[in-house]
Structure 1
Amino acid sequence: MSDAVLSIRPATPGDVSLILQLIHELAEYEQLADTVKATADSLHLQLFGQRPVAEVLIGEVDGAAAGFALFFHNFSTFTGKRGLYLEDIFVRPAFRGAGLGKQLMAALARIAVQRDCARFEWSVLDWNTPSIAFYRSLGAIGMDEWTVQRLEGAALHALAARDEL
């Protein structure tokens, strides 16, 4: 694939089905296929509705959809600036090794710089050593002193229902 033509473009509403398909492929790779709840309608609303909350880049190899990166902005109170948070990046196995992952990461870094973001962050599963090695090769550092916390489902609703101050 050394002569392959790589391209990165912003997703359009016509890409929603492709994005959903890539999400399912990513979930399969991460052994989380049974956790995907996204639908074409929910993605369309959240990515292209009246108040989009995330953006997607589509990576192509020789014009074929080969991967994606879904990202959004967060905010750092310490820097007083927004950051760019990469929720998911995925390159289909048949296209790995062509440099598309690096191109997607570089495109995201350019967006972060152009938008005056203080940082560009993401999470990676502990067992995913190929991805960790890839990120380290780009200069990323692990934030080992931080542990992700999450509320969802019943616990989220129970906390939301609490009314005592």
Structure 2
Amino acid sequence: MGETIIRPATEADIDMLDAGLRRLSEGMGDSHRASVADLRRAGFGPRPSFRALLAEVDGALGGLALFSPVFSTMRGAAGLYVSDLWVAEAGRGQGLGRRLLARAAGEAETLWGARFLRLVVYDDNPAAQRFYRRLGLSADRREILMTLDEDGLDALEGRI
């Protein structure tokens, strides 16, 4: 791996960020509904809901991390939720994913005092599970991730 620079994404990087997130979605077999406008509004608007880091390897996008604040009353602390972590195929196995997570954790600690990291890994992705376990992450068997989709949220708020 050549010269690697990890830096915060800016609004000027929106197309690069979108391209990396699309590559992640494609690699996972996921749909990708977020448009460039969605990313711009959510990440670079008046109240950003995420932060992003870009890893450039010899000037090309080699990876990214997208993360947001989360607070746990049980832990009594803020943390970071990593919603997206992607490393280009050519850069895997060389420590870039770990470096992205470490940088995200450091930025989250500075920004909102983060003391823990959370993420979700797919049950059909054993390579990612091994990677996260090597870093010290573990599954909490008491927790089940539950999601209310957009229609459910509209119903909950009485919009439909």
Q: What TM-score do you get using the length of structure 2 for normalisation? A: 0.91
Q: Which residue of 2 aligns with 1:82?
A: 78
Given candidates 34, 38, 44, the residue that maps to 2:34 is: 38
Stretches of structure 2 lacking an aligned partner (at least 5 in a row): none
Stretches of structure 1 lacking an aligned partner (at least 5 in a row): none
Q: Which residue of 1 aligns with 2:4?
A: 6
Query: Do the aligned partners of 1:47 and 1:53 also contact (CA within 8 Å) in 2?
Result: yes
Q: Which residue of 2 aligns with 1:143?
A: 140
Q: Does 2:119 match 1:122?
A: yes
User: How much does 1:56 deviate?
Assistant: 0.1
Q: Which residue of 2 aligns with 1:98?
A: 94
User: How much does 1:70 deviate?
Assistant: 0.3
Query: Do the aligned partners of 1:112 and 1:120 also contact (CA within 8 Å) in 2?
Result: no
2:124 aligned partner, one-letter code: W
User: How much does 1:48 deviate?
Assistant: 0.8
Given candidates 25, 28, 51, the residue that maps to 1:27 is: 25
Q: Which residue of 2 aligns with 1:73?
A: 69
Query: Do the aligned partners of 1:112 and 1:119 also contact (CA within 8 Å) in 2?
Result: no
2:3 aligned partner, one-letter code: V
Number of equivalences:
158
Q: Which residue of 2 aligns with 1:49?
A: 45
* 1:161 aligned counterpart, secondary structure: coil
User: How much does 1:39 deviate?
Assistant: 1.0
**Which structure has the larger Rg?**
1
1:134 aligned partner, one-letter code: F
CA RMSD of aligned residues (A): 1.6
Cα separation, 1, equivalents of 2:15 and 2:102: 25
Aligned CA distance change for structure 1 residues 41 and 112 (closer, same or farther; 3 Å): closer
For residues 59-88 of structure 1, what are the alpha-carbon distances to aligned partners after superposition, in whole Å with 9 as ceiling and x for unaligned?
121221111100010111123321111011
Between the aligned residues of both structures, percent identity stands at: 36
Divergent runs of 4+, >4 A: none
